[in-house]
Copies of this chain bind each other. A is one copy, B any other.
Amino acid sequence: MPKSTPSNPSAAMLVIGDEILSGRTRDANMYHLAGELIQHGFDLNEVRVVADNEAAIVDAVQALSASCDHVFTSGGIGPTHDDITADCVARAMGASIGIRDDARALLAAFYDGQGIEFNDARKRMARIPEGADLIDNPISTAPGFSLGNVHVMAGVPQVFQAMLAGLLPTLKGGAPLLSQSLQINRPEGEIAGPLANLAADFPTLSIGSYPFWKAGAFGANIVIRGFDKSDLDKAMSRLAIIFEAAT
């Protein structure tokens, strides 16, 4: 990330659930959130993935809530026994938790409307910490919530994305990070020296080199990020010259 930003709020993500740690599921929410945060002017500093384990969730929520302006969580707010996120977040933030009338009313109306039993398992989804604001779930009603700077959302990607789309416009972000990139079909070792000089000459930009291996040869995507369009253009022009010198 650029070393000097116009004080964009910092963010962290906490992915909760065994399914990624077991190799069963390939993450989708991290990728989606990262892209959305860049566009809305938040700097994503860190992501953690932890299991459905009370101590692990509480520790991670406390650490990330203290170190970042916003924490976004995904997973563990459904009706089954392994859905313990709401209780863990309440404990981490020192809030009490119980079935809240507003969340229960939303869910009761939703299930009544469909002629489905609003059973005890489903009532668990109305457990919301005291003082939290509900996050709207336009797909399946069971709400997420924001407690302090922790925003708790579902793990099912379609629901996560829908909740995030409602939440993000309510948070004050900073300037969107601009980026330009150039793919070079040469190994990094050939341009690393001039690239380091370029980075030193533009201290307010972030210049990243992301190598790839394709058809038996290395190449790299050089990505320049920053908030000043004119600096970005200057650095990209210099990059093109470095690249030509290497070919």
Interface pair B156/A211, CB less than 8 Å apart: yes
A24 in the interface (beta carbon within 8 A): yes
Dominant secondary structure at the A interface: mixed
Interface pair B210/A25, CB less than 8 Å apart: yes
CA distance A151 to B52 in the complex (A): 26
Q: Which of B31, B50, B207 sits near A23, CB closer than 8 Å?
A: B31
Other A-B pairs beyond A21-B44, A45-B51, A82-B209, 10, CB < 8 Å: A18-B206, A20-B34, A21-B34, A22-B223, A23-B35, A23-B37, A30-B49, A48-B48, A81-B196, A121-B188
Interface pair B155/A211, CB less than 8 Å apart: yes
Closest to A63 in B: B63
A180 in the interface (beta carbon within 8 A): no
A189 in the interface (beta carbon within 8 A): yes
CA distance A36 to B21 in the complex (A): 11
A9 in the interface (beta carbon within 8 A): no
Chain A 174-232 residues near chain B, CB threshold 8 A: 177, 179, 188-193, 195-196, 199, 206-213, 218, 220, 223, 225
Closest to A43 in B: B21
Copies of this chain assembled into the complex: 2
Closest to A214 in B: B158
Inter-chain contacts of A157 with B (CB < 8 A) = 213
Q: Which residues of A are interface residues toward B (Cβ below 8 A)?
A: 1, 17-27, 30-38, 44-53, 56, 78-83, 116, 119-122, 124-125, 139-140, 155-159, 177, 179, 188-193, 195-196, 199, 206-213, 218, 220, 223, 225
Inter-chain contacts of A30 with B (CB < 8 A) = 20, 27, 49
Q: In the assembled complex, how far is the CB of residue A169 from the closest CB belonging to chain B, in whole angstroms?
A: 18
Q: In the assembled complex, how far is the CB of residue A222 from the closest CB belonging to chain B, in whole angstroms?
A: 9
Inter-chain contacts of A33 with B (CB < 8 A) = 23
CA distance A155 to B188 in the complex (A): 13
CA distance A139 to B218 in the complex (A): 10
For this complex, 17 residue pairs linking A to B, each with C-beta atoms less than 8 Å apart, are A1-B18, A17-B208, A22-B179, A22-B225, A27-B27, A45-B51, A47-B47, A48-B49, A52-B208, A78-B211, A79-B188, A80-B220, A81-B207, A82-B199, A83-B209, A122-B192, A125-B189
